[in-house]
Amino acid sequence: MKFSLRLHEKVKEIWEKTHQHPFVIGLGKGDLPVESFIRYMKQDYVFLIDYSKLFALGSVKARELDTMAVFAKLLHETLHGEMELHRGYATKFGITRQQLEETKPYPINLAYTRYMLNVAQNGTLEELISALLPCMWSYWEISKMLANKYPTASEHPLYGDWIKTYSSNEFGSLAIWLIELLNHLTEGKPERELAILEEHFLTTSRFEYMFWDMVYEGEDWPV
């Protein structure tokens, strides 16, 4: 069995729970409160700054030139493609680029990126990919699910661009490339190594759920 199928099986329930989260459903139905979306966009912007560095580290750890080049493309795509979506939304809401960058990450956001950066710095290339993959794969699944379930969602004046960006074939092909690379790299690996990779994948799938939940209502800290 391909390793990615095993991973998918492992996180089926948590991904299903994510698909039913009111933030996600709100994006599809178009009735997500705008304050939640602004909170998400700001938190996600600083998340993406750290997440981009995972691709840079992927390039460092790559053992083949072609692999190195795709990680470099992913880094470029995140900084100039995906983050441009966020900058566009920020302009709509009157939030400056500086304000976006100065967003203080909530503790869950910090814990999520620190976990991945720690794995990326101290682990193998296979560990790095297993930790960062739920982020890309789950967004692709969510946006496809939403585009299917709510056929007019991609025309929504506010959330339509979000759905279109993440359900695009371009984003899909990047996720597929990573899935196939991981399948290739894990062929013939012993169970003890696969179990570690599975654990990273499960942990960051849980963080994905927590991220949606964190931005839905926000967190109120006394200081």
Ligand X SMILES: Cc1ncc(C[n+]2csc(CCO)c2C)c(N)n1
Q: For tokens 């969510």, what's the residue?
A: 142
- Shortest Cβ 81–ligand X spacing (Å): 6
Binding range to ligand X, per CB under 6 A, among 7-15, 20-28, 41-49, 194-202:
41-49
Half-sphere exposure of 48 (CA within 13 A, CB side): 23
Q: Does 78 bind ligand X (CB under 6 A)?
A: yes
Among 3, 15, 23, 47, binds ligand X (CB under 6 A): 47
Q: Does 135 bind ligand X (CB under 6 A)?
A: yes
Cα(10)–Cα(100) distance, rounded to whole angstroms? Answer: 35
Per CB under 6 A, contacts with ligand X among 137-176 are: 139, 171, 174
Is 208 annotated as catalytic? yes
The letter for the amino acid at 97 is R
CB 126 within 8 A of CB 189: yes
| Residues whose CB is less than 8 angstroms from the CB of residue 210 and which lie 6 or more positions away in sequence, other chains included | 108, 112
Among 77, 161, 199, 213, binds ligand X (CB under 6 A): 77
Selected catalytic residue, list 82, 135, 141, 198? 135
- Shortest Cβ 47–ligand X spacing (Å): 5
Burial class (CB in 10 A: 0-12, 13-18, 19+), 34: exposed
Is 13 annotated as catalytic? no
Binding mask 1-30 for ligand X (x = CB under 6 A): ------------------------------
- Shortest Cβ 64–ligand X spacing (Å): 20
Our CB check for ligand X shows the closer of 68 and 194 to be: 68
Burial class (CB in 10 A: 0-12, 13-18, 19+), 122: exposed
CA nearest neighbour of 32 among 123, 157, 122: 157
Helices 107-122 and 125-149: crossing angle in degrees, nearest 10, is 140
Positions in the binding site for ligand X (CB under 6 A) = 44, 47-48, 51, 74, 77-78, 82, 135-136, 139, 171, 174, 208, 211
Kindly list the catalytic residues. 135, 208
